[in-house]
Amino acid sequence: GNSVTQMEGPVTLSEEAFLTINCTYTATGYPSLFWYVQYPGEGLQLLLKATKADDKGSNKGFEATYRKETTSFHLEKGSVQVSDSAVYFCALSASMTGYALNFGKGTSLLVTP
Amino acid sequence: IAGITQAPTSQILAAGRRMTLRCTQDMRHNAMYWYRQDLGLGLRLIHYSNTAGTTGKGEVPDGYSVSRANTDDFPLTLASAVPSQTSVYFCASSAFGGSSTGELFFGEGSRLTVL
């Protein structure tokens, strides 16, 4: 089935540093791609999404581009803030279980002042 | 506020006991899901339901059962809990068809500890 692999954390950055979290996928067909964020003690919430090749999803200063040629959907932000400290999950639409998403293992980000 | 409500928020349970985690959504979404989250393993799908009256098995269904009697409710039952079922459980829902892009909406989670 469809799957994603994302870089392992934890990632520690200073405030205003540039962030990249890598995500690559394996899929049949053309799945939708997502980044979710989980703040401490909370459920997951959608950060951004892209539904077709070359689409760029963006939200709250975060961006990710659906690259079919490299099967990637890397998350980037130009200047991180302390409030961005969270766990980030890459996900794609599953092919075998209805409309479920398959998630990566998550990357923990800690931003220090 | 519209969304997904899970209960209980947290529970400690003796091994061998039966436990039902409740999930209710008020968004009239077609599909609902149960995931478990474990450190280092991310989120893994337990069971799903595309519409009321239908259910399917996910990646890790053993030891769990679900039912979908109506659109809003999707309870998850552990018939005889074991320590390996200690986890944080998330219920989610999604719409599909029309303009939907497949986004999942998550509840706040239920933390279950089996001793």
Least Cα separation, residue B40 to chain A (angstroms):
6
A95 contacts in chain B (CB < 8 Å): none
- Higher-confidence residue of A18 and A41: namely A18
- Higher-confidence residue of A113 and A28: namely A113
Is 70 exceeded by the pLDDT of residue A23?
A: yes
C-alpha–C-alpha distance, residues A102 and A73, integer Å: 14
C-alpha–C-alpha distance, residues A38 and A75, integer Å: 15
* C-alpha pair distances (Å), A112 with each of A74, A89, B29, B100: 22, 20, 39, 37
Query: Is B61 an 8 Å CB contact of chain A?
Result: no
Per-residue pLDDT tens for A48-93? 999 889 999 999 999 999 999 999 999 999 999 999 999 999 999 8
For the stretch B49-56, contacts whose Cβ atoms lie closer than 8 Å and that sit 24 or more positions apart, written own/partner, are B49/B74, B50/A98, B50/A99, B50/B96, B56/A97, B56/A98
Q: Could you identify the residue written with the tokens 């829902």?
A: B93
Q: What percent of chain B has pLDDT over 70?
A: 94
Q: What percent of chain A has pLDDT over 70?
A: 97
Q: Could you identify the residue written with the tokens 């997951």?
A: A44
Per-residue pLDDT tens for B16-33? 999 999 999 999 999 999
Question: Looking at residue B98, what is its pLDDT?
Answer: 57
The single-letter code of the amino acid at B112 is L
Chain B: residue nearest A39 by CA? Answer: B108
3-state secondary structure of A83: helix
Q: Where residue A96 falls among pLDDT bands split at 50, 70, 90?
A: low
Per-residue pLDDT tens for B78-93? 999 999 999 999 999 9
C-alpha–C-alpha distance, residues A27 and A34, integer Å: 14
List the single residue in B41, B102, B108 with the smallest CB-CB distance to A43. Answer: B108
